[in-house]
Structure 1
Amino acid sequence: MTEFAPDAGFRKNRKLKAALLRHKALSKDGLSERLFGLLFSGLVYPQIWADPDLDMQAMELQPHHRIVTIGSGGCNMLAYLSKSPASIDVVDLNPHHIALNRLKLAAFRNLPGHADLVRFLAQPNEATNSSAFDQFLAANLDETTRSYWNGRKFGRRRITVFDRNIYKTGLLGRFIGAAHLLARLHGIDLTEITRTRSVREQRQFFDEKIAPLFEKPIVRWITSRKSSLFGLGIPPQQYDELASLAADQSIAPVLRHRLEKLACHFPMRDNYFAWQAFARRYAPEGEGPLPTYLKREHYEAIRDNVDRVGVHHASFTELLSREPAASRDRYVLLDAQDWMTDQQLNDLWTEITRTARSGARVIFRTAAEKSIIEGRLSPALRDQWTYLEDRSRELTSLDRSAIYGGFHIYEKTA
């Protein structure tokens, strides 16, 4: 098992540093990369911001499939377990995400029942959650993960964040909180959209309350800076991709369009991403959905399958380089390729292609609409994969998380 320091910073995490840094330290781009790296070295995603239901439709999971996925907040790999795949390897360069993934797996394995699981992982202001950790989870964690959650931050044990609201923490949680504060300064309470009763009312709220915010000078000034999107986990490279979509190179119209999809394209009762964005929590019972992995109908299958997961503090390429040829069926890259150089992309796809069985699928997301690998992979690699373009376009329109421009599926043909 790879060990990591409970307070590992960006300088100590060589793997993360190598993945993020391209430019000289004192250059404008280099400074931007290092600022993002420092922010990204802590917990970023308490909830993964990618729709696992979309992933499962794209992957068409079968019981014999062996999956490799980036971990992030862990919601995706747990959802995949509802389909009982043969195995899942989870990789992540962020040690905080590793600790969160391992904790969520332990919660399924060791908490007494479904209600206890939902209380621990989904309900805010439950003061007994840290006690549940002490009673049921701590002794069943590896020493490194146990030390992480027992470690102190600002004078309190890290695990006590579950007594409050973990979804208000991490880089993403703080970014959403800052957006709420900015809206309140302009007289808008974003939580009011959760009280709408139809998509029509959601549209009215967006048009009347949210859309005008993007014309405010302070909002346009903030969104004109690359660092404004670091809180979404979007690095400088992705900012450039998004800015290229707008005629005036401003990110504000792109953000407005993505937020419009989140607010207006799906009923609030069906979209837990919208609840997290606008209410900073999941919906109360009966008012909206829980994430797939927390739904009662999937509880037993996920609990029974948690031992099929391995969690690795490693890069995707690094893990695959240790695996035998023709040994994996499904690969979930999230948006990681948006950060990569051409060399890194080709190194990654070399290992994917080597380890992929015939019919294997790779799925990923991109900040912009177009697939990131076209024109960048060597022909020898690219020619072994078929782009399922129509299916990719169809599923992009169904993505409830709404933050990405494109969702892409590739299938191995040889």
Structure 2
Amino acid sequence: MQHAQIVQDQLGEAVLQKGKLSLTGLQERLFSRLFQNLVYAQIWEDPVADMMALEIGPEDHVVCIASGGCNVMSYLTASPAAITAVDLSPAHVALLKLKLAAARHLPDHARFYDLFGHADQPTNPELYDTYLKDKLDPVTRAYWEGRPYGRRRIRMFTQGFYRHGLLGRFIGSAHVASRLGQVKYDALLSAETLEDQRRFFEENMEPLFDKPLVKFLGRRPAALFGLGIPPAQFDKLAADGSGDVIPVLRERLRKLMCDFPLNDNYFAWQAFNRGYGPEGRGGVPPYLAEENFATLKANTDRVRVLNRSLTDMLAGEPAASRNAYVLLDAQDWMNDGQLNDLWTQITRTAVKGARVVFRTGGTEDILPGRVKEEILSRWTYDAEMSRACFEADRSAIYGGFHLYRFNG
């Protein structure tokens, strides 16, 4: 109970930047409460772009934020020496531990894919009962066997798991709003060319952004909580639109719909089909690909999963011991003190040549002028690779992808 309270306090500290009685402060407190439960059934950062930047090798010890766990599982296909994954959400920790147990103990890829690829099979609870539940630690098992709505949580995998969580419900609400606007995504999902995808966007989606209700909701920070965007990150999005978030949202949606072929963008399928495409259409994260299953199974014991903050975890690690760091977009949530505490520990634990990748809601790198010069000067920003990885990131939700390399 004491550990749970500490984690809850840390989550509040990660989000809360304004006074408790201000409107923004109240919004931050609401977001903090929402984030204590499952937010991302699937992570919304492209692990292929991450691995392109990190160039993970067999000697590397990777440190990352777990979120939905798709990143951690996909990094395992590169066979690093070790991965330490942390998250302040106990739900995300339980999800990653379930994925690791499934890769380790399910006998074949078909059943693994039933659980996390189809994620809607009526036999999935039986897989859990037969192969997994006795392999889980008590806290993780209690989570999946908990009954917050009268049924075990593991039954989410019979109903379309990716429809659950804060993001899944947000996408469901967006589908309802689309239907009210007479927009159906069948034509998009059957598109054969990028030109077909662009035409669908121009004819069906662009007009929605001119509707008063869309403008009204889109300009309210609380309306975007379902995307995992706290008020501080909302402000960065709006800054890219000269104070108006609507053109930014329009451009991010355009990139998701138009810049990548639908036969190789599982993020688009998650957004517009609420699950991965049928018969593999649209691709899947690397960890779900059949050709990677044997490697994944062999490497599951290389992961350590902790319900802690990244800064606190790193403070307990040896100096000069880590090679790669994945921060997702967590820094967008941080004040200057939190940023400097984090980068102090990253710099202390990094080996020469270590890489750090992160994303930002806005376009610009947020570290210069905020992280102390004596710390940041020990790192080199790789602008060329950052730009290449941003362009390759199929998730399309962020304004920037950033790569730093440690000078030693």
TM-score (norm 1): 0.96
Matched residue, 1:378 = 372
Q: Aligned partners of 1:294 and 1:396: how far apart in 2?
A: 23
How is 1:331-342 mapped onto 2 (pairs within 5 angstroms)?
331-342=325-336
Q: Aligned partners of 1:73 and 1:3: how far apart in 2?
A: 25
Matched residue, 2:402 = 408
Q: Aligned partners of 2:7 and 2:346: how far apart in 1?
A: 28
1:362 aligns with 2:353: no
Secondary structure of 2:18 counterpart? coil
Q: Aligned partners of 1:217 and 1:80: how far apart in 2?
A: 43
Q: Aligned partners of 2:200 and 2:240: how far apart in 1?
A: 26
Q: Which amino acid in the other structure matches residue 79 of structure 1?
A: S
Secondary structure of 1:407 counterpart? strand
Matched residue, 1:318 = 312
How is 1:74-93 mapped onto 2 (pairs within 5 angstroms)?
74-93=69-88
Matched residue, 1:293 = 287
Q: Aligned partners of 1:301 and 1:14: how far apart in 2?
A: 38
1:153 aligns with 2:148: yes
1:130 aligns with 2:90: no
Conserved in 1, the CA contact under 8 Å of 2:63 and 2:85? Answer: yes
1:359 positional shift:
0.3
Structure 1 unaligned regions, length at least 5:
none
Q: Aligned partners of 2:259 and 2:199: how far apart in 1?
A: 12
- Sort the Cα spacing of 1:191 and 1:237 in 2 relative to 1 into closer, same or farther, 3 A: farther
Aligned residue among 63, 68, 71 for 2:63: 68
Q: Which amino acid in the other structure matches residue 152 of structure 2?
A: R
Matched residue, 1:390 = 384
- Sort the Cα spacing of 1:124 and 1:99 in 2 relative to 1 into closer, same or farther, 3 A: closer
Q: Which amino acid in the other structure matches residue 199 of structure 1?
A: L
Q: Aligned partners of 1:103 and 1:4: how far apart in 2?
A: 21
Conserved in 2, the CA contact under 8 Å of 1:4 and 1:144? Answer: no
Q: Deviations over 1:176-210 (max 9, x none)?
A: 11111111001111343111111111111111011
Matched residue, 2:9 = 14
1:111 aligns with 2:106: yes
Q: Aligned partners of 1:137 and 1:44: how far apart in 2?
A: 23
Conserved in 2, the CA contact under 8 Å of 1:223 and 1:250? Answer: no
- Sort the Cα spacing of 1:12 and 1:191 in 2 relative to 1 into closer, same or farther, 3 A: farther
Query: What percentage of aligned pairs have identical amino acids?
Result: 50
Conserved in 2, the CA contact under 8 Å of 1:91 and 1:312? Answer: yes
Q: Which amino acid in the other structure matches residue 161 of structure 2?
A: I
1:144 aligns with 2:139: yes
Conserved in 2, the CA contact under 8 Å of 1:4 and 1:95? Answer: no
Q: Aligned partners of 1:345 and 1:379: how far apart in 2?
A: 13
Q: Aligned partners of 2:34 and 2:342: how far apart in 1?
A: 25
1:124 positional shift:
4.2
1:215 aligns with 2:218: no
Conserved in 1, the CA contact under 8 Å of 2:146 and 2:153? Answer: yes
Secondary structure of 1:112 counterpart? coil
Matched residue, 1:351 = 345
Matched residue, 2:274 = 280
Q: Aligned partners of 2:197 and 2:400: how far apart in 1?
A: 24
Conserved in 2, the CA contact under 8 Å of 1:385 and 1:412? Answer: yes
Structure 2 unaligned regions, length at least 5:
none
Aligned residue among 246, 254, 259 for 2:253: 259
Secondary structure of 1:386 counterpart? strand
Q: Aligned partners of 1:12 and 1:306: how far apart in 2?
A: 25
Conserved in 1, the CA contact under 8 Å of 2:114 and 2:120? Answer: no
- Sort the Cα spacing of 1:19 and 1:219 in 2 relative to 1 into closer, same or farther, 3 A: same
Deviates more, 1:15-24 or 1:346-355: 15-24
1:175 aligns with 2:170: yes
Q: Aligned partners of 1:121 and 1:239: how far apart in 2?
A: 31
Secondary structure of 1:278 counterpart? helix
